[in-house]
Amino acid sequence: MKKDRVLSGMQPTGKLHLGNYVGALENWVKLQDEGYQNFHMVADWHTLTVDYEDTRQIHPNTLDVVIDWLCAGIDPEKSVVFVQSRVKEHAELHLLFSMLITVPRLQRNPTLKERIKDLHLGKNISYGHLGYPVLQAADILIYKADYVPVGEDQMPHIELTREIARRFNYLYGNLFPEPEGLVTPFSRMPGLDGRKMSKSLGNTILLSDPPEVLTQKVMSAFTDPEKIRLGDPGHPEICVVFAYHRNFNQPEIPEIERDCRNGKLGCVACKKNLIQKLIAFLEPWGEKRRYYEDRMDEIEGIIEAGIEEARQVARATMDEVRETMKIG
Ligand code: TRP
């Protein structure tokens, strides 16, 4: 029986943080272990939508991302790990898809509107940036993926991918499945300051942070401002440290919640407890990372093998696309 296929993608932002793990990676590993056929792609072309002036970090960041994937348990024996820009067929499919979608349709994309606002782009958005969900549709459909694990913000792009698949199938002949987005449940992971955890906001805990750095970061994390002394009753629902306990210290949640609210548990003790749990979780990570960092050839080898495998699938799809469209 043909296994259902999963395509997931992440931009090469460098060393990954806890938010990347809880929001995405943890789920990827679960899907791998449930027996789906997984393609994991580093979306390096997508990085150019914003960071196109200085491209020197893209390759080293790609390697850092792949190392963190492996540390999380992505197994290159089971899953294909590859880099978008090395499979040129994505670019050809992107070009063809770009004819099937209107500019106003792309401008209606809520995720893009938010990015334009956050980055203060106004009308200065590039042609490539406007079309980046079309490239994403090519990434997904070139592997005929059945499922795409994504954060909530990426769902509009999955919807667009489905529209493009339908339009192609209707115009030229039935070729593409309509993929489904798998939204990671409970994926909100606040940063140290309470905003969304994100590299650009400088509020992350890295999966590779050593214990001293981790300790110092957790000690500085945002807690309930109304809880000043030990006896003050706290509000765990607004506390970053509590959110982390929820993800990394589940069994103690009822007790922590109760004792924070009734003033028995102080923030320092609560943070120290969390630090212990996080160190236990991240310690093997550090060891694995050191292992891979000493074996960069192995990493390059895994990526090269993944690229070869991805290419075979992408080439076969493009043969079908050209045949179906009677061009090329
Ligand atoms: N746009 C995604 C992001 O910014 C990355 C991405 C590119 C992606 N291509 C993809 C995700 C294909 C899933 C499938 O996070």
Number of independent structural domains in the chain:
2
**Atom of ligand 1 minimally distant from the CA of 149:** 13
Residue 49: CATH number of its domain? 3.40.50.620
The verdict on 175 and 252 lying in the same domain is no
- The per-residue pLDDT for range 60-105, each reduced to its tens digit, is 999 999 999 999 999 999 999 999 999 999 999 999 999 999 999 9
**Residue-by-residue DSSP string for 171-223:** HH-S-----EEEEPTT---B-TTSSB--GGGT---BTT--HHHHHHHHHT---
152/222 same-domain check: no
Q: What is the pLDDT of residue 224?
A: 92
Q: What is the pLDDT of residue 1?
A: 60
22 and 106 assigned to the same domain: yes
CA distance 55 to 53: 6
Q: Is residue 204 part of a domain?
A: no
Examine the domain organization and report whether 92 and 64 are in the same domain: yes
Measured from the Cα of 7, ligand 1's closest atom is 14
Which range has the worst mean pLDDT, 177-186, 213-222, 294-303? 177-186
- H or E stretch including 150? strand 147-150
Residues 61 and 181 occupy one common structural domain: yes
Q: Does residue 39 surpass a pLDDT of 90?
A: yes
* 281 and 311 both lie in a single domain: no
Q: How far apart are CA 42 and CA 299, in angstroms?
A: 13
Range of the domain at 267: 209-290
**Do 13 and 109 belong to one domain?**
yes
Atom 13, ligand 1: residue with shortest CA distance: 9
Same domain flag for 285 and 177: no
Same domain, 308 and 276: no
Ligand 1 in contact with 140 (CB < 6 A)? yes
Cα 234 to middle of ligand 1, angstroms: 38
Radius of gyration of the chain (CA): 22
Decide: 40 in ligand 1 pocket, CB within 6 A: no
Q: Give tens-digit pLDDT for 251-295.
A: 999 999 999 999 999 999 999 999 999 999 999 999 999 999 999
Is the domain of 39 the same as that of 112?
yes
Please choose from 13, 41, 142, 158 the residue to mutate so as to test ligand 1's pocket, defined by most ligand atoms within 8 A of CB. Answer: 41
The pair phi, psi for residue 197, each rounded to 5°, is: -70, 125
List the one residue out of 238, 210, 247, 211 whose CA is nearest residue 21.
247
Check pocket membership of 64 for ligand 1, CB cut-off 6 A: no
